[in-house]
A = this chain, B = another copy of it.
Amino acid sequence: MNISATDRQKDESPAVPAPKSPMGLVEIDSGRLTPLQWIERRMLSRPLIGPIAVLVLALIVFSIVSPNFGTLQNFSLILQQVQVIAMLGIAQTLVILTAGIDLSVASIMLLAQVVMGKLAVAVGLPVELALVLGILVGVACGAVNGLIVTRLNIPPFIATLGTLSIFYALNLFISDGESVPYAEVPPLFNWLGQGFQVFGTTFTFGQLLTILMFVLFAYILRSTAWGMHIYAVGDNLEAARLSGIRVNRVLMSVYIVAGLIIGVTAWLLIGRIGSISPTAGASYNLASITAVVIGGTSLFGGRGRIMGTLLGAVIVGVFSSGLSLAGFDNLWQEFTIGLLIIGAVAVDQRLRKIGR
């Protein structure tokens, strides 16, 4: 018999040595692997291998094709371009891990942002208060989604298809469709767009915040009970319920935390575009889902990694920037992003199959 210890790892923590079975019947052959085999197995069994492979490939190809592409400056730019989608992607990932989906993330962001602007500029509240209240609008919208899902028992796709329209209509109602111009936006609102220089390249506080949020939520999902429960609820709701998890409480908390993240993203968006606009980023609903999906998280819930979403967002940004630098028209950029979505997921699946 030649049963070897499985390398399947549910998380990225260092591998626990395969325990000897109490009856000692199991042989472990990891010791017999060559270092190369070991690396291969270790790498291929990682859930992020697919997105990483796609990203590395894209970086190599585009760097060869366009000389302007492979600069630190451009990488910083790409990260700035995708930071809003990536942040929405954190919220989206949380929801998708519970086997849900949130079609309303962009609407919530716009509403929160417009409320911030209205309160600070038209109403004249202190800027800090307006900011906090705007973020709380995000939290409230998340809570509304959560209540519809948990109390009315409506599938998240349908619930957020509804609130997508509702929040967007409120956003237009409050803003009258008008932007607050740059000159009138209080500096605090714009703070996340401010930058600092490293190696002659500009980085922004917004970029930093985005990365920090990813690290934070990667930790939470991997190492806390709440994170574990999110996976359990998404994996099998009924089993989680019977196992004594308060599934409705977990779901509510996920939608509320998602709303909080989206509220913060509203702040990030203002810093990014310099003004407060009721329409900037209305297309980010699907874009955030695209990032999650390319990052290898399953739309059926219970499987995936938050860092995949960051990779997914960056991959889309790299393609969009690379294609544009290589002189492709927007039409063909759209076409290629379509192929990318399918291709990236196909590559991910193929690699994971080999990796097992």
> Which residue of chain B lies nearest to A101 when distances are taken between CB atoms in the complex?
B157
Is residue A148 contacting chain B, with contact meaning CB distance below 8 A? Answer: yes
Is residue A320 contacting chain B, with contact meaning CB distance below 8 A? Answer: no
Once A293-B161, A342-B148 are accepted as A-B contacts, the answer to whether A335 and B154 lie under 8 Å apart by CB is no
Number of interface residues of A (CB under 8 A): 39
Is residue A66 contacting chain B, with contact meaning CB distance below 8 A? Answer: no
A289 vs B101: C-alpha distance when bound (angstroms):
15
Is residue A170 contacting chain B, with contact meaning CB distance below 8 A? Answer: yes
**Would B338 and A290 count as touching, CB distance under 8 A?**
no
A289 vs B160: C-alpha distance when bound (angstroms):
13
Chain A 195-228 interface residues, beta-carbon cutoff 8 Å to B: none
**Which residue of the partner chain, among B159, B298, B340, contacts A342 with CB atoms under 8 Å?**
B159
Is residue A182 contacting chain B, with contact meaning CB distance below 8 A? Answer: no
Once A158-B342, A299-B158, A300-B155 are accepted as A-B contacts, the answer to whether A165 and B334 lie under 8 Å apart by CB is yes
**Which residue of the partner chain, among B166, B173, B299, B332, contacts A338 with CB atoms under 8 Å?**
B166
Residues of B within 8 Å of A332, CB to CB, are 169
Is residue A286 contacting chain B, with contact meaning CB distance below 8 A? Answer: yes
A340 vs B169: C-alpha distance when bound (angstroms):
14
A277 vs B290: C-alpha distance when bound (angstroms):
28
Is residue A36 contacting chain B, with contact meaning CB distance below 8 A? Answer: no
Once A157-B299, A349-B154 are accepted as A-B contacts, the answer to whether A341 and B162 lie under 8 Å apart by CB is yes
Q: Nearest chain B CB to A350's CB is how many angstroms away?
A: 9
Residues of B within 8 Å of A335, CB to CB, are 165-166, 169-170, 173
Residues of B within 8 Å of A173, CB to CB, are 331, 335
Is residue A326 contacting chain B, with contact meaning CB distance below 8 A? Answer: no
Residues of B within 8 Å of A152, CB to CB, are 342, 346, 349
Residues of B within 8 Å of A298, CB to CB, are 155
A322 vs B293: C-alpha distance when bound (angstroms):
39
Q: Nearest chain B CB to A157's CB is how many angstroms away?
A: 6
**Would A155 and B334 count as touching, CB distance under 8 A?**
no
Q: Nearest chain B CB to A295's CB is how many angstroms away?
A: 12
Once A155-B299, A349-B153 are accepted as A-B contacts, the answer to whether A286 and B342 lie under 8 Å apart by CB is no
Can you list 18 A-B pairs, Cβ within 8 angstroms, ordered by A?
A: A154-B345, A155-B298, A155-B299, A158-B342, A158-B345, A159-B342, A161-B286, A162-B340, A162-B341, A162-B342, A165-B337, A165-B341, A166-B335, A166-B339, A169-B332, A169-B338, A172-B331, A173-B335
Q: Chain A: residues with CB nearer than 8 A to chain B?
A: 148, 152-155, 157-159, 161-166, 168-170, 172-173, 286, 289-290, 293, 298-300, 331-332, 334-335, 337-342, 345-346, 349
Extra inter-chain contacts (14) besides given A158-B293, A169-B331, CB under 8 Å = A152-B346, A152-B349, A154-B346, A155-B298, A155-B299, A158-B299, A158-B342, A159-B342, A163-B342, A165-B338, A166-B338, A169-B334, A173-B331, A173-B335
